[in-house]
Amino acid sequence: MFGILYIVATPIGNLGDITLRALETLKSVDFILCEDTRHTQKLLNHFEIKTRTISYHQHSDERKVREIKELLSGGKSLALVTDAGTPGISDPGNNLVASVIARSWRDKAIQNDHDDGLPRSFRVARNDSVLPIPGVSALTAALSVSGFPTDKFLFLGFPPHKGRAKFFQEVSESKHPVAFYESSHRIKKCLNELAGVLNKNQQICVCRELTKQFESIYRGTIEEILAMKILEKGEFVVVIN
């Protein structure tokens, strides 16, 4: 029997944001896959969770992925967490999810060859090897307080190290609000690059350190935002109307 990989959202700052379902899942699984085991251990200790942890991050090789899939093939239940937020959102967790789904499809296809004669397409649709345990996401948190219409929006992850001019040109040409992440050491550069492509009247919402002690939300045009001299510390979400 193929095990289940739970994709568990964890707080992006305030520990009170974790869900009861997330806590229950983290307590009940056989192992927790962590971006940084030391970071996750602080969360587990706070809630007195004793589940064993395994390191899985963007530098994990194919051997690590095989080990994880073998655990699942052996019927073990696993929870995937990142340091903060929802795994798989601008995060290498989506690569693991895709690999696990492909493996479980193969395993279940073999098992289901002896099933009740149902069409193969229906058998594949019953696949439940990866399940979401939803919760906090910096993206949705920022969109919810932006004040911009969010029935449609474009999410672009992190601006690339190379090809940034093309990235910001795409931002300026979007017909819908755009949201993306930015790191503390590049936020100033990011805002200056936006100043070169945005209409001077376009409204921007910059969210810094959401849910944390020094949470700050800045709103205005790009010129007004630049004049605010935003502190270059923490994690950022930028939303452009």
Calculate what percentage of the chain has a pLDDT beyond 90: 77
Q: What is the pLDDT of residue 122?
A: 39
Instruction: Provide mean pLDDT across the span 20-42.
Output: 96
For residues 45 and 123, which has the higher predicted lDDT (pLDDT)? 45
Structure tokens at 216: 């700050």
Q: Tell me the average pLDDT of the chain.
A: 89
Walk across the sheet containing 178-182 and list its strands: 154-155, 178-182, 236-240, 204-208, 216-220
The more confidently predicted of residues 57 and 49 is 49
Q: What is the mean pLDDT of residues 146-169?
A: 95
Task: List, as one string, the DSSP characters of 11-75.
Answer: -SS-GGG--HHHHHHHHHSSEEEESSHHHHHHHHHHTT---EEEE--TT--HHHHHHHHHHHHTT
What is the model's pLDDT at position 125? 40
The pairing of strands 178-182 and 236-240 is antiparallel
Domains annotated for the chain, with CATH where assigned, are: 5-133 (3.40.1010.10), 138-240 (3.30.950.10)
Spatial strand order of the sheet with 78-81 comes to 52-55, 31-34, 78-81, 5-8, 130-133
Q: Average pLDDT in the 193-220 region?
A: 96
pLDDT mean over 30-47: 96
Tokens 């229906």 found at: 122
DSSP secondary structure, 157-195, as one string:
-SPPSS-HHHHHHHHHH-SS-EEEEE-TTTHHHHHHHHH
Give the per-residue pLDDT at 94.
82
Whether 5 contacts 78, CB under 8 Å: yes
The mean pLDDT value for 16-21 works out to: 97
Q: Please tell me the least confidently modeled range out of 47-56, 94-103, 130-139, 199-208.
A: 94-103
pLDDT of residue 59: 82
Q: Which of 57-71, 99-113, 126-140, 194-208 has the lowest mean pLDDT?
A: 99-113
Are 196 and 171 in contact, with CB atoms under 8 Å apart? no
**What pLDDT band is residue 61 in, cutting at 50, 70 and 90?**
confident
Q: What's residue 52's pLDDT?
A: 97
Quote the pTM value.
0.85
Beta bridge partners of 180: 238
For 95-153, the pLDDT digits (tens) are 888 888 886 555 554 455 555 554 444 344 445 789 999 999 999 999 999 999 999 99
62-65, long-range: CB within 8 Å, 24+ apart, which pairs?
Answer: 65/96, 65/99
pLDDT greater at residue 64 or residue 180 = 180
How much is the average pLDDT of 4-24? 96
Instruction: Give 130's DSSP letter.
Output: E
